[in-house]
Amino acid sequence: MAAVIKQPELNFSRSTVLIVDDQTTSRLILENIAKTIDDNLEVKCFDNAYDALLEAESSPPDLILTDYKMPNIDGVEFIERLKNNIRCSDIPIVIITALDDKEALYKALEAGATDFLVKPVDHYECKVRCQNLLTMQRQKLIIKNHANSLEVKINEATHQILLREMETLARLAMAGEFKGKIAGRNLVRMGKFTNIIAEAIGFNKEEREVMEISSGMHDIGKIGIPDSILFKEGPLKAEEFEVMKGHCRMGHEILKNSPSPYLQMGAIIALHHHEKYNGSGYPSGLRGDEISIETRISSIADVFDALITKRSYKEVWPLNEAYDYILNERGEHFDPACVDAFFAQKEKINETIESLKENDE
């Protein structure tokens, strides 16, 4: 046996009907009919369309009944104005016309009238038509509220998924750096540097957040480099350096086919993060705008962070010397515009360094 879906019980105690008619008698008749629908139904009556428009715009009713023939603003113009107002465009409207005035009826329906009644108005017919329209309007409101509730829940669920994805990506980035014995805090700092530079260039918040996460995956390809090369003390032989350079393409291969925008950008940054603005980098010898803007930004963040970080093969550079290095490589290793953006944000860069300062002892 099919399940019976219980419909929500509808009442019209909080519904409002707006009546517009310049004839007092007709207006009173319509008001009395409307009140038979529900004792607590609110009925507002107006003798002209202008005042009715002001009321409808300030406090949209659930149903409007309007006469066709009225001075100054007739029923058709009244309907057109309502439909052109975003707050009133969905309100059902019943037009009331003379029995033989087909032309007026057609104009009203074309203007957006929902239903019609003919004079003299039949009390029962008017009540039932109004009741049906109010029911439809109430059900539409229930559906809209339900849709809004679902949207909130979907947004919350999407946010939770995004947080989990970001955590996974952060751990993935750390996997590459783990082999290089770089602390996770350095990835965080590099990401923040990337965000800060991108802000000065003009990227919006959402774009910067993607760049901040993605930039940390630049060395993910190191997980494919033999420890004998990765941890070798002293300079690498030529053939060893060629193997080391392979981490760029390995990182790209690991990340490139993901639907995630973070991983897609991470793949590009991983492939190109050793390219140089003057074309002397690797693996492809790209120059200038051939290198993605995201990579050009994150390259500065990566090198600057490396300079001010203690490594097994180097001590921490003094901050002023690290800044001088970035400036001296303007137009060589680094995009001049990105270097300028970096220095424009020097105060924020220093604040980030202090807030994430490590004990290198």
E strands present in 47-114:
63-67, 93-98
Buried (b) or exposed (e) across 273-296, using 16+ Cβ within 10 A?
bbbbbeeebbbeebeeeebbebbb
The CATH code of domain 16-147 reads 3.40.50.2300
- The answer to whether residue 16 scores a pLDDT higher than 70 is yes
Instruction: Find all residues with CB under 8 Å of 211, minimum gap 6, and list them.
Output: 194, 195, 198, 203, 265, 294, 297, 298
What does the pLDDT look like over 111-129, one tens digit per residue?
Answer: 999 999 988 999 999 999 9
pLDDT for the residue numbered 78: 93
pLDDT for the residue numbered 71: 87
Of the listed ranges 4-8, 33-37, 126-130, 278-282, the one predicted with least confidence: 4-8
When pLDDT is averaged across residues 207-228 and rounded to a whole number, the result is: 88
- The answer to whether residue 58 scores a pLDDT higher than 80 is yes
- Asked if 278 contacts 339 with a C-beta cutoff of 8 angstroms, the reply is no
Tell me the CA distances in angstroms from 338 to 81, 200, 281, 293, 333, one per residue in order. Answer: 53, 9, 17, 9, 11
pLDDT for the residue numbered 192: 94
- Asked if 295 contacts 269 with a C-beta cutoff of 8 angstroms, the reply is yes
pLDDT for the residue numbered 234: 78
Instruction: Find all residues with CB under 8 Å of 199, minimum gap 6, and list them.
Output: 208, 345
Structure tokens at 185: 């805090």
Kindly report, as residue ranges, where domains of CATH 3.40.50.2300 are found in the chain.
Answer: 16-147
In 10 A of CB 256, how many CB atoms? 14
Query: Parallel, antiparallel, or unpaired: how do β-strands 93-98 and 63-67 relate?
Result: parallel
Cα end-to-end span (Å), the chain: 75
- H or E segment and range at residue 44: strand 42-46
Smallest CA-to-CA distance from 286 within 269, 263, 302 is with 269
Cα separation, 36 vs 302, in Å, equals: 75
pLDDT for the residue numbered 180: 47
Percent of the chain at pLDDT exceeding 70: 88
Confidence of residue 236 (pLDDT cuts 50, 70, 90): confident
Confidence of residue 345 (pLDDT cuts 50, 70, 90): very high
pLDDT for the residue numbered 285: 96
Q: Domain spanning 157-355: which CATH class is it, in words?
A: mainly alpha
| Residue where the block lists tokens 């108005």 | 121
When pLDDT is averaged across residues 195-215 and rounded to a whole number, the result is: 94
What does the pLDDT look like over 129-167, one tens digit per residue?
Answer: 999 999 998 888 888 888 888 888 887 887 777 667 666
Cα separation, 296 vs 2, in Å, equals: 63
Mean pLDDT, the chain, integer: 86
pLDDT for the residue numbered 80: 93
Of the listed ranges 29-38, 323-332, 351-360, the one predicted with least confidence: 351-360
pLDDT for the residue numbered 203: 97
- Asked if 262 contacts 214 with a C-beta cutoff of 8 angstroms, the reply is yes
In 10 A of CB 8, how many CB atoms? 7
- The answer to whether residue 108 scores a pLDDT higher than 50 is yes
Q: What is the DSSP letter of 221?
A: G
Confidence of residue 358 (pLDDT cuts 50, 70, 90): low
Q: Rounded to 10 degrees, what is the CA torsion of 299, 302, 307, 313?
A: -110
pLDDT for the residue numbered 11: 53
pLDDT for the residue numbered 94: 94
Beta pairing partners, 42: 16
pLDDT for the residue numbered 185: 65
When pLDDT is averaged across residues 10-24 and rounded to a whole number, the result is: 81
What does the pLDDT look like over 282-339, one tens digit per residue?
Answer: 999 999 999 999 999 999 999 999 999 877 667 899 999 999 999 999 999 999 999 9
Kindly report, as residue ranges, where domains of CATH 1.10.3210.10 are found in the chain.
Answer: 157-355
In 10 A of CB 78, how many CB atoms? 28
Instruction: Find all residues with CB under 8 Å of 208, minimum gap 6, and list them.
Output: 194, 195, 198, 199
Residue at 21: amino acid letter: D
Confidence of residue 361 (pLDDT cuts 50, 70, 90): very low
